[in-house]
Copies of this chain bind each other. A is one copy, B any other.
Amino acid sequence: MLFHVEMTVNLPADMPEARAAEIKATEKAYSQKLQNEGTWRHLWRVAGSYSNVSIFDVEDNETLHHIISGLPLFPYMEIRVRPLCRHPSSVRDDDS
């Protein structure tokens, strides 16, 4: 089941650089593990911003929330979630 998730990062201006670097490194590892497992299907940077558009493939809402709220950057992000489904004009059965 697919979900469309938009994330925009707002780090506090006074966060020490070392702390920011540490959170970002953990975030990257967390994200890549989920990408390799096939759960985080797509991850794009929105050009010119500190935002991404992501597609998640999860079993249910519960799992989606578990993953998103576990993101190291979660407390510093504005997040918008929309459930997706197959489009009647799509040529693919399993839109990967």
Contact = CB atoms under 8 A, between A and B. Distances in A.
Nearest to A45: B87
Contacts of A46: 4, 82-84
A54 to B, nearest CB: 9
A96 B27 CA distance: 22
A90 B86 CA distance: 24
A18 interface: no
A31 B75 CA distance: 23
Contacts of A44: 2, 4, 84-87, 90, 95
Contacts of A23: none
A81 B43 contact: no
Interface in A19-69: 27-28, 31-32, 35-36, 42-50, 52-53, 55, 60-62, 64-65, 68-69
A65 B49 CA distance: 8
7 contacts: A1-B60, A35-B92, A45-B88, A47-B68, A62-B85, A64-B85, A65-B85
